[in-house]
Chain A
């Protein structure tokens, strides 16, 4: 685990403040020891675990990609058998989408950062948060254990029926895939609820809607999208599982089932999925560009509205993944128009960032390099997106390597570049130490060049007719050289990630102490010490502008009057963030972990028998009863507060 060294401003505290800090420390610190590890509920603890776990899955999926690139470097190669290759590309896609991109960009970043950025002591529903993390880990472990037992999913990350159905997908491979979806989606929906409540009820006094940091706006938009999009895929994967284990016939055309229904349900989720991966990315870019241009972001309102508009429009485009199924022309026109329209809010954001840069003072530190790389890569992905949005052109490039190039430009550009920027940017906050600037820039250039060498030729090879998801290709197609260039690019990407890891491990031990606010940034998380104490802020802050620290008055007030013998916090009103009530967070407990174990037994059991859910719900019920068992002290405190508040 990441160990951190406290640094910073404890020295300047008064005697009284030191005593207060000690009291808060006693109440908020995580339990120690082996079992303590499973009891921890604080959002920074869980957030760090999310980051490490999601990054581990990124590395695994990246290694799978390496083997695939080796296989494709030579025509008719036999490094991987067709069966293994099909598992590899399915595992690569499913891992990147379900175990890396969403958990990292949404869950990890928002769990760690959102409570700090809105200036509160923890995330809403911290135990649910711990539960969501364990569920996510267990889902990922299950998926990889199955893979190691040669039961890796092999029907693509979309698992279309009837290929993944009972007739053409024998064995248990698609079942493990379907339950991976259930695991990760339950966990993402839980975090979505936490983020929405945190952002709308736990903001620091003064942080009215028009002062919420753009990063937080991005994450709350994503949270809403998660709530509306993910049920679609939970539904489709559950129907698939029922078809496979209970002989239902949802997708069997022979008896009136429908194979297209699956695609509609899947892409109802699958398209917003792309946006809920890169909206956090663009929100990170807004943050980095602001800090490293040394000015309030240009066009705050436009940026926020763009994020929200993207969130809405994302639900109107799903059919553009199905143009080749032969849909009516009027529907084609609608979905073409909708797909083009999404370029408008994205364009608006890009112009606002460039305007911010053009009117600011640009400091070219590592995070800003990643932001600049983002422009080059992500905009290219957006441009090729216009090709695939046009129905006639899509009929040619759909399901070819052109599309593979397109979405890697969008997703690596829109998520991984901002993510690596976010690593460099928030690493000092999380660990208390700076990352090496030299190694950071080496990583950037290796990654940037390697990325383009790997993925740009894919456009060309796609236009020359190479379909996706083929485990090999004939030698005389003119695809060999381009594929070899792509595979060489992978080597640079590999080295880049290694340098990044070296940088992380070295900086954690020997990096320069960061202090609370090394970038002199404006958002509230930089008001806490680095790393933040378990109670986040000694004095809960109040907010006077969009960049809370830049706009703070010389004698900016802090929140007082919260109990220090419990994990108490302040709720504020949704629109204007005026203080509303006091409440308290539950403390650490083992129950979320046990509940996640019980849920895992039920989910994994249901792969083998439908009774898995029926019988498995009994231990889940028991652990939930333990989880919600009331505590006398907390209940009494709450009653006392309610009496006080009603007076």
Chain B
């Protein structure tokens, strides 16, 4: 729209470092409001300081109240009236700018948009890529791969309390509420990893509920989607076979799904392609051998209050399990 961009705010979770048209529109409106309000602020306070300095009376005895001076009041009336008119005009400008921006956001191409379903959980994100052929539906968690330059329709709701889906470089936030379905259209114009975070207070671990939006070329995205739709890798080495057994005979199987095995519960994140994700625990830890082991043994020490219970297992069992999970590319 108008005055363009605001420099000086780098980062991959920054509203003024837009990577898509939605965040760009908002940045322009932000800039418009910033320049107007900053100028008004400076002028008003400058006037105040000037008048205080000019009309300053010495301390000490309080002077008697001044008699009303009609002529200076009339002059002041004119100035105040003028200032009010300017105020109204500026507010009107901002308001129209806001409407234009709102319209631009609302009229982004919804029909041809690619749909991704997002479900908020305490404290992680469940992500579905629906497909007309049910066996090609992809389910993953905490990492949204999206194609660059394609309008996206994020369709969301919550599985428990209210969460808010927010990746500031891409678009503003939208609450995910139980009992309501919501739609928000956005688009990412450059490849990269953009961080997002729950923006509605959702309890004990609200601080640790982030996700990544991974924008990649259409080809890469389609390849990724195809890989994700596959069943999990069958374990080949002895260790990973044992690891799968550990998974299926411990509490893990009560909450998680690994497609292609007997594990099919939907309480926790789908782990079918866990190893293809860069972080675990909703962005809290990097997806490494060490952090997987820590997380499995006692998630409560990392993310107190989260739904993942501590798991009792021997060192060998843990090693086998982690080795198995790391094959789930």
Contact = CB atoms under 8 A, between A and B. Distances in A.
Interface residues of A, number: 92
A354 B48 contact: yes
B102 A392 contact: yes
Given A295-B66, A329-B106, A471-B207, A375 B201 contact: no
Interface stretch (A269-277, A339-347, A528-536): A339-347
Nearest to A469: B201
Contact of A547 (B41, B65, B205): B65
A463 B15 contact: yes
B2 interface: no
B206 A294 contact: no
Contact of B69 (A352, A359, A387): A359
Nearest to B53: A362
B84 interface: yes
B68 interface: yes
Interface centre among B57, B79, B80, B97 (most CB of A within 10 A): B80
Contacts of A302: 80
B270 to A, nearest CB: 23
A332 B102 contact: yes
Contacts of B326: none
Interface string A521-545: 0100000000000000000000000
B11 interface: yes
Contacts of B80: 298-299, 302, 348, 351-352, 355
Interface stretch (A129-137, A160-168, A307-315, A448-456): A160-168
Q: Interface size bucket, B side?
A: 35 or more
Contacts of A125: none
Given A324-B173, A362-B52, A396-B30, A467 B197 contact: yes
Interface string B23-42: 10110011001100110110
Interface stretch (A80-88, A188-196, A488-496): A80-88
A386 B98 CA distance: 10
Nearest to B86: A347
B91 A395 contact: no
B313 interface: no
A337 B204 contact: no
B267 interface: no
Contact of A372 (B48, B183, B201, B205): B48
Interface stretch (B157-165, B253-261, B290-298): B157-165
A264 interface: no
A333 B97 CA distance: 11
Contacts of A361: 55, 57, 63, 66
Interface in A603-628: none
Interface string B84-104: 100110010011011101110
A292 to B, nearest CB: 8
The 3 closest A-B pairs by CB, nearest first: A395-B172, A253-B179, A465-B13
Given A168-B122, A470-B207, 12 more contacts: A81-B304, A168-B161, A258-B179, A294-B57, A294-B62, A295-B66, A324-B172, A354-B47, A386-B91, A463-B15, A473-B207, A518-B62
Interface of B: 9-11, 13-16, 23, 25-26, 29-30, 33-34, 37-38, 40-41, 44-45, 47-48, 51-52, 54-57, 59, 62-66, 68-69, 72-73, 76-77, 79-80, 83-84, 87-88, 91, 94-95, 97-99, 101-103, 105-106, 122, 160-162, 164, 166, 168, 171-175, 177-180, 182-184, 195, 197-207, 304-305
